[in-house]
């Protein structure tokens, strides 16, 4: 059984078909990348998968369950998590509190009304582990909005991992980062382990070819091409669509 | 509107909130000297006040405590969850009317039963109104809360109308007068002079409960929703449920304030449900700050103080003074007196920083 199955998914904004008749499948443990020019409908696809947007038609099946109309948080509890293209943190809270809030989202304790958050030993241990693994532990006392951009992206990543997802959706994880930071993120994603299935949107071809096993090219809300990295690299349509755009495929390894 | 707590938090938060956050190393940061001592000192002073000062002062302080609780209940949803309500008096009035009606119309004079009834009533009404309210206040609505604000105003005006219409029960437009001194059961009736202590005890208990709530797991989820509701949902939180429940909790504490107010003045009028009274909560919170826990207490002290001075020297000018107070606060102390005092206190303790 496929982990995620997308069938004929469409959504329209007024007259614009932002996503049109999209179908694809992700197997357990796979690393799939979605590429495509600006406005192709990649982020919109993510919003449909995570439930932020409801599709005009089509369906989404996750772990064999129909989740087309499930709420965002219900999907998270089922094992889906995402990062956002535009960094989405708790800007007024410390890095540490960001981690605590992130971690308890899928735990029963999140409804506890009388126990101080800071007295939850298990949660604190988990927060330390999460922040250490993302190299943010030393910054735990900093307010999130005061972090440098590269660190904010790391925290973004940490938050999307906080719910221990089975399927991780990453929306341009290296967007706006320096080459070094970008390489670091690439290594991190590659090292995630086969328990986590990754679907990511990326413009950065080093990231795509460094991590993904399979690539989907989106164009005008539809799948224009699909294949392994090698197939995509030699695909004429991919070359046409990316021709003249800021990233060239010749750059890739 | 310059009252979005975010504007404030940006400048204040780096010092204000970082402290509690640096666990485990920074756990002692909120030291006894910093918080415990002033709380104790103020508590003792307030407790002993009636022994040394004339009655009108303790009557003022009673009012300060009532409006402080009223403000704190609004701050729970506004400062913490990020839901600004213009109709919070609806619950204040419901509490007061609920207790009053039980005493005067049903003849159940026991204070605790009245309190319980009033709380159940406010909780029930809040639970019903919460459904339409949070249809209007969807995800990310704090960026543009105008429709929600209008809806909450409507709730208050609607209830005020109802209070006028239901004359046999509520006393109509002249109000529900003649609420007697509270009867605590066991033959204890609280006289005017002693009412101060009853309010004090209830106030302290409510303060403690609210404090526990906002610092709990649940409380931090509320803060998370304030900061970024979309992210909260993506993390697995049913944000609607948090908004809805915090709205009910805020209503209940607003109701407690209303009950204390009803026994304080011995009368409830329809205006206690509407905009004019909601303004008090709003002003108390703005004056005090939405970013500190104790802000509304400071706000209430300032508000009741100004109100008293105005009643002495410029009794007919109250609406004008109320309006000016709003403007002056927003223009000159946008972050609120609470933040100001906190900064001064920390500077005093730790030296210039
Ligand atoms: N909520 C919305 N309402 C109306 N139009 C929208 C909405 N969200 C996205 N769109 C439009 O849908 C199209 C696809 O947008 P989307 O954000 O999915 O692109 P993308 O592939 O992620 O692009 P980028 O690489 O720039 O992130 C765009 O034309 C965008 O303007
Ligand atoms: Mg996008």
At A139-197, the pLDDT tens digits run: 999 999 999 999 999 999 999 999 999 999 999 998 888 989 999 899 999 888 888 99
In a domain, B326, yes or no: yes
Residue A72 to residue B233, Cβ atoms within 8 A: yes
pLDDT at B191: 76
Q: Is B231 on the interface with A (CB under 8 A)?
A: yes
Band of pLDDT at residue B7, cut at 50, 70 and 90:
very low
pLDDT in tens, A99-111: 999 999 998 889 9
**Strand pairing partners for A62?**
A4, A65
**Mean per-residue pLDDT over chain A, rounded:** 89
> Measured between alpha carbons, how far is B85 from B102 in angstroms, rounded to an integer?
28
Is pLDDT above 60 for B265? yes
Looking at chain B, the whole-number percentage of residues with pLDDT higher than 70 is 90
CATH architecture group of domain A1-79+165-253: 3-Layer(aba) Sandwich (3.40)
Q: Map out the domains of chain A as residue ranges.
A: 1-79+165-253, 89-163
Number of structural domains in chain B? 1
pLDDT in tens, B306-345: 888 888 888 788 888 888 888 888 888 888 888 888 888 8
Is pLDDT above 50 for B6? no
Residue B212 to residue A113, Cβ atoms within 8 A: yes
Residue A244's alpha-carbon distances to A33, A159, A223, A232, in angstroms, are 21, 35, 20, 17
Is pLDDT above 80 for B283? yes
Q: How confident is the model over B114-122, as a mean pLDDT?
A: 94
pLDDT in tens, B194-242: 888 899 999 999 999 999 999 999 999 999 999 999 999 999 999 999 9
CATH number at residue B297: 1.10.3470
Q: Can you say how many angstroms the Cα of residue B221 is from the centroid of all Cα atoms in its chain?
A: 20
pTM above 0.90, yes or no: no
A22 lines ligand 1 (CB under 6 A): no
Question: Which chain A residues are Cβ-neighbours of B17 within 8 angstroms?
Answer: 92-94, 97, 143
Q: Is A156 on the interface with B (CB under 8 A)?
A: no
In a domain, B192, yes or no: yes
Instruction: Decide: B227 and A92 in contact? Cβ < 8 Å.
Output: yes
ipTM of the complex as predicted: 0.90
Give me the torsion for CA of A176, A182, A184, A187, rounded to 10°: 130
Question: Which chain B residues are Cβ-neighbours of A117 within 8 angstroms?
Answer: 215-217, 219-220
Is pLDDT above 60 for B8? no
Q: How far is the CA of A85 from the centre of ligand 1 (A)?
A: 12
Is pLDDT above 80 for B299? yes
Q: Which of A89, A104, A113 sits opposite B228 (nearest CB)?
A: A89
The parent domain of residue B276 ranges over 10-350
pLDDT at A144: 93
Write the residue with the smallest CA distance to atom 7 of ligand 1: A13
Write the residue with the smallest CA distance to atom 18 of ligand 1: A41
pLDDT at B17: 37
A13 lines ligand 1 (CB under 6 A): yes
In a domain, B75, yes or no: yes
Higher pLDDT, B252 or B169: B252
Whole-number CA gyration radius for chain A: 18
Residues of chain A with pLDDT under 70: 243-253
In a domain, B3, yes or no: no
Residue B123's alpha-carbon distances to A5, B93, B247, in angstroms, are 44, 13, 9
């Amino acid at each position: 059984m496929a982990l995620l199955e997308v069938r004929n998914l469409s959504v329209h904004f007024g007259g614009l078909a932002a996503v049109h008749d999209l179908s694809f499948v992700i197997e357990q443990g796979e690393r799939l990348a979605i590429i495509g020019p600006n406005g192709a409908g990649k982020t919109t696809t993510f919003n449909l998968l995570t439930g932020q947007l409801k599709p005009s038609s089509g369906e989404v099946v996750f772990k064999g369950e129909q989740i087309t109309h499930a709420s965002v948080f219900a999907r998270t509890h089922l094992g889906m998590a995402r990062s956002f293209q535009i960094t989405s943190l708790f800007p007024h809270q410390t890095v540490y509190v960001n981690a605590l809030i992130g971690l308890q989202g899928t735990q029963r304790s999140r409804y506890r009304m009388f126990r101080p958050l800071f007295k939850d030993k298990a949660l604190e241990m988990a927060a330390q582990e999460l922040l250490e693994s993302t190299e943010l532990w030393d910054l735990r006392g900093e307010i999130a909005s005061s972090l440098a951009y590269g660190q904010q992206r790391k925290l973004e990543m940490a938050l999307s991992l906080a719910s221990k997802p089975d399927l991780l959706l990453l929306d341009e994880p290296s967007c706006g980062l320096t080459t070094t930071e970008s390489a670091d993120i690439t290594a991190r994603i590659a090292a995630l382990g086969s328990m986590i299935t990754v679907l990511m949107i990326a413009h950065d071809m080093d990231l795509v070819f460094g991590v993904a096993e399979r690539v989907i090219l989106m164009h005008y809300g539809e799948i224009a091409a699909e294949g392994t990295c090698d197939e995509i690299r030699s695909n004429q349509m991919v070359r046409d669509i990316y021709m003249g755009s800021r990233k060239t495929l010749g750059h890739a390894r | 509107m310059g009252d979005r707590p975010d504007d404030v938090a940006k400048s204040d938060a780096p010092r204000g909130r970082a402290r509690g956050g640096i666990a485990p190393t920074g756990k002692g940061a909120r030291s006894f000297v910093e918080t415990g001592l002033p709380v104790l000192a103020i508590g003792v002073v307030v407790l002993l006040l009636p022994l040394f000062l004339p009655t009108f002062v303790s009557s003022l302080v009673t009012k300060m405590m009532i409006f402080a609780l009223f403000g704190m209940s609004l701050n729970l949803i506004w400062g913490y969850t990020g839901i600004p309500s213009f109709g919070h008096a609806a619950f204040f009035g419901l509490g007061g009317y609920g207790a009053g009606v039980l005493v005067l119309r049903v003849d159940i004079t026991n204070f605790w039963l009245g309190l319980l009834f009033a709380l159940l009533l406010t909780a029930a009404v809040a639970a019903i109104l919460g459904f339409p309210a949070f249809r209007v206040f969807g995800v990310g609505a704090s960026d543009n809360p105008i429709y929600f604000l209008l809806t909450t105003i409507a709730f208050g005006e609607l209830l005020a109308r109802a209070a006028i219409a239901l004359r046999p029960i509520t006393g109509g437009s002249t109000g529900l007068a003649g609420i007697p001194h509270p009867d605590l059961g066991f033959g204890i009736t609280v006289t005017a002079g002693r009412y101060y202590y009853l309010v004090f005890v209830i106030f302290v208990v409510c303060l403690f409960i609210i404090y526990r709530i906002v610092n709990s797991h649940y409380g931090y989820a509320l803060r998370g929703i304030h900061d970024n509701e979309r992210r909260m949902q993506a993390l697995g939180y049913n944000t609607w449920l948090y908004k809805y429940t915090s709205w009910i909790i805020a209503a209940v504490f607003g109701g407690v304030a209303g009950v204390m107010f009803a026994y304080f003045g011995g009368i409830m009028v329809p205006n206690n449900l509407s905009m004019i009274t909601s303004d008090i909560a709003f002003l108390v919170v703005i004056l005090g700050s939405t970013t500190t826990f104790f802000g509304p207490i400071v706000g209430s002290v300032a508000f009741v103080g100004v109100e008293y001075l105005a009643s002495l020297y410029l009794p007919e000018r109250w609406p004008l003074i109320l309006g000016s107070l709003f403007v002056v606060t927003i223009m000159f102390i946008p972050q609120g007196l609470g933040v100001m005092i906190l900064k001064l206190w920390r500077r005093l303790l730790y030296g210039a920083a």
